[in-house]
Structures are given as structure tokens and as C-alpha cells.
Amino acid sequence: MTYLADVGALARKDLLLELRARDTLPAMLLFVVSTLVVFHFVLPADSSDVAATGLLWVALLFTALLGLSRAFAAEREQGVIDGLVLAPSDRSAIWLGKALSVLAFLVLAELIALPAYALFFERVDAALIGGVALADLGIAAVGTLLAAMAAASRARELLLPLLFLPLAIPIVVGGVGASVAGEPARYLGLLGLYDALFAIICWASFEYVVTE
Amino acid sequence: MIHARALEKRYGDKRILRDLDLDVGQHDFLLVTGPNGSGKTTLLRLCAGLAAPTRGELELTTPRGRVGYLAHEPLVYRELTALENLDLYGRLYRVPERRERIGMLLERFGLWDARHAHAGSFSRGMLQRLALCRALLHEPDLLILDEPYSGLDEDGALLLDSELTDRTQDAAFVVATHDPQRIDRFASARLALA
């Protein structure tokens, strides 16, 4: 219970910081909507729905990257990570609290992005929503760990995309597959497996990321 | 509390500390001095368990939840109020009777009236007072203070003097400072880094 209370306190703090500073979510919203608008004009009128779905995933992935690049900004700029790391709580609680807040930002961005996609391209079905939801879990889990690694580096702006994009390939494969395949269950299963596997790896390895 | 033998710390090719032996017992007060770049902050981070030595032995017997660490940065969120910052740390550090302890510290360090103000609006001196509240909140057994008088006005410095006087019987200290005269009377051991 103490562990969950720590996670809750850390996630609540991140949401409160965003509510006050408003420097991540508005940027993510603006980015995803403007990207979809650009894609709407770039894609020829007779393009297939499959191409539009692919572009949606590109937009979602880069929007997530934008949010992840700010995930540890407050801890980095104000050195707070040292204070959190010295707390007696399990250090994985820092990862889980941050991953939950990243997940909340992703879901909020998609609440705008998916209706915008439906407006510009095609209707959104249950398989696409399921794929996006499972992809969000994987992005939040892996992205939070990598954002913490990048935050400790001087070349953090370069490092995060270089680390994140290769690891996000299975998410894109699963997400696009679930969105366009006739039988999406196999791809949703792949995303679920990815989420479970990487959540365990990230949970177990976070301690080594935040200590020298 | 802290036992170090032949301690060495490097960052890349740069050697920050070399062949350092150190023993800090339960009620010891180690005063660390040295010019800029001599490795004071690095040594304090090693003592806090925030960094690992490149070579040598370092044994830290204080559990990490019992360490109070004051860094150059105040380690507080600027968008949160003083009260919210201390409440977050109080939860994470399992401070019993958290609200009472926070109220007492804010009162003692003259921040009670500013408790609902965002830390980002604080002056350098107020931030240092808040950082001291944060470091002392869980009544640590080992206090590691990096330039604790930095940014404090005379009133703040006197408050810190009195806090150190009160706490030297209950805790061990490792304090780095450019102004050793101010706290030399507390020191049971001194380390001058070159």
C-alpha cells in the first residue's frame, strides 16, 4: 500500500505541475493536430485508408516523443531527482508515477487526435482504439525509462529519439497491424505482450538508470 | 556511518578525488573545505550514495531514507508551493505527524507566511531556507550539507547556527563550505581538499 501511495503522490505531483506550468500537454495537442492537418493536405485525395492510418501512427509516435522529452524536465532543471532517489521508497515508484502521468498526457492528446483523424481521414473503429490504448501503455513504460536515461545525459535531445524510436518499432508494427488487419487480435496480442515484457524490464531496471 | 578507503572518483579522464580515506561516526561533524573544483560536491554526493566511486572502498551504513542532503540546488519543484513541496517529501520520506513537523519547520525558518507561495517566486535566501526545511524534515541521522550558508541573510544564518547546535548531538554531519570559520566550532574533524 505504501508503494502505491508513493506512486500516487508522484503521479499527482506531475499532473499538478502540468496544470500549473502547462508546458507539455498544449504543445502535444498543437503538434498532433497540426501534423494531422499537414498530412491531410499532403496525402493525395485518392490515397488508401491504409496510408492514412500509417500517418496517424507517425503523428502519435512523434507526439509521444515530444511529451517524453519534457517528462523529466522539472527533475532535471531543478535537481529534484536527487531528493527523490534518496527517499526510502522503492525507486521504481518514481518510474511508475512518471509513466502514469505520461500515459495521462498521451490519452488526453489522443482524445483530440482521434476525432481530428476521423474528421480529416476516416472513421475510428474499436480495433484502432484498442491498438492506440495498448500502444500508449508500451510508450509510457519504455519512454519513461528512456527519458530518465536521456535526462542524465548532456545530449538528451539527441539521445531520446535515438533510443526510443528503435524500441518503438514493435509498437508501430502492432498498432498499424491492429488498425488495418482483418483480424486485429494477433496484433493486439503482440502489443499486450510487448507492454507486459517491457513494463517488467523497465520497472526492474529503473533503479540503475537514476543512480551513477 | 561512512567509511572510505583509497577513494577515487573520475568523470571521464578527469580525476576529481584520489586516495581519500574517510571515517564519519555517529555524532561526528566533518568539515570539508577546498577551492572550487577540488571535489567537495563530488565527495558529498558519494557520501550521500548518489554516486559510486570509480575505485576504492566506500561503506555507507546509514539507510538512504535517513540521509538529509542539501545540495547547491534546492531540490524543490518551483511550480509547487512550499507546503506542497514539503508535503510530497514528507510522504515519500515517511515522516510521522507530517503536517505538524512541516508547520514547525516552516515556522522556525520564517516561511510560514509564504507557505502557499510557489517556490519559483522565492528569493535565493528563501529557497535555501526551504531547502533546509526539506533536508531536515525527516530528522535524518546523517546530514550532508553543501554550502549551507549560501544565499542566507544574517537572520537565516543565525537560524542555521541554532539548528546545527541543536542537531549535533543527534546526527552526524558532513558539511562543505567556503566559510569554515562560521562552523569550525562544530567540527570534530576537518578535511581540506586540494
Tens digits of per-residue pLDDT, B8-38? 999 888 999 999 999 999 989 999 999 988 9
Question: pTM of the entire structure?
Answer: 0.92
The nearest alpha carbon in chain A to B88 belongs to A9
Cross-chain Cβ contact B94/A88 below 8 Å: yes
Q: How many helices (H) and strands (E) does chain A have?
A: 9, 0
Q: Give the closest-approach CA distance of A102 to chain B in angstroms.
A: 18
Q: Which of A25, A80, A207 to mutate to test the interface with B (most CBs of B within 10 A)?
A: A80
**What is the mean pLDDT of the segment spanning B159-178?**
92
**What is the mean pLDDT of the segment spanning A166-171?**
96
Residue range A62-105, pLDDT digits in tens: 999 999 999 999 998 888 999 999 999 899 999 999 999 999 99
At residue A45, the pLDDT reads 81
**What is the mean pLDDT of the segment spanning A115-138?**
94
A212 pLDDT exceeds 80?
Answer: no
* % of chain A residues with pLDDT over 70: 100
**What is the mean pLDDT of the segment spanning A49-59?**
92
DSSP string computed for B117-172: SBGGGS-HHHHHHHHHHHHHTT--SEEEEESTTTT--HHHHHHHHHHHHHHTTT-E
Q: Smallest Cβ distance to A212: which of B51, B64, B79?
A: B51
At residue A210, the pLDDT reads 87
Q: B169 pLDDT band (50/70/90 cuts)?
A: confident
The nearest alpha carbon in chain A to B67 belongs to A86
What's the mean pLDDT when you consider all of chain A? 93
Using alpha carbons, select from A144, A139, A146, A133 the residue that is nearest to residue A184: A133
At residue A79, the pLDDT reads 87
Q: Smallest Cβ distance to A78: which of B76, B88, B93?
A: B76
Cross-chain Cβ contact A83/B75 below 8 Å: yes
Tell the residue number behind the cell numbers 586516495, with chain if given. Answer: B19
Q: How far apart are CA A13 and CA B78, in angstroms?
A: 12
Note whether B75 contacts A: Cβ–Cβ < 8 A.
yes
Contact yes or no for A106/A137 (Cβ under 8 A): no
Using alpha carbons, select from A138, A103, A142, A79 the residue that is nearest to residue A7: A103
Residue range B143-161, pLDDT digits in tens: 999 999 999 999 999 999 9
The DSSP H or E segment spanning A49 is helix A49-69
CA distances from A142 to A37, A84, A136, A197, B142 (A): 28, 20, 10, 10, 35
First to last CA, chain A: 29
Note whether B157 contacts A: Cβ–Cβ < 8 A.
no
Q: Smallest Cβ distance to B93: which of A17, A82, A88?
A: A88
- Residue A156 burial class via C-beta count within 10 angstroms: exposed 0-12, middle 13-18, buried 19 and up: middle
Chain A residues with CB-CB distance to B51 below 8 A: 211-212
Chain A residues with CB-CB distance to B80 below 8 A: 13, 16-17, 20
Q: A32 pLDDT band (50/70/90 cuts)?
A: very high
**What is the mean pLDDT of the segment spanning B70-89?**
96
Q: How far apart are CA B132 and CA B137, in angstroms?
A: 8
Note whether B131 contacts A: Cβ–Cβ < 8 A.
no
Beta bridge partners of A113: none
Q: Smallest Cβ distance to B75: which of A6, A82, A88?
A: A82
Q: B50 pLDDT band (50/70/90 cuts)?
A: very high
Q: B119 pLDDT band (50/70/90 cuts)?
A: very high
Q: How far apart are CA B159 and CA B63, in angstroms?
A: 27
At residue B144, the pLDDT reads 96
> 136-155 in B: which are within 8 Å (CB) of A?
none
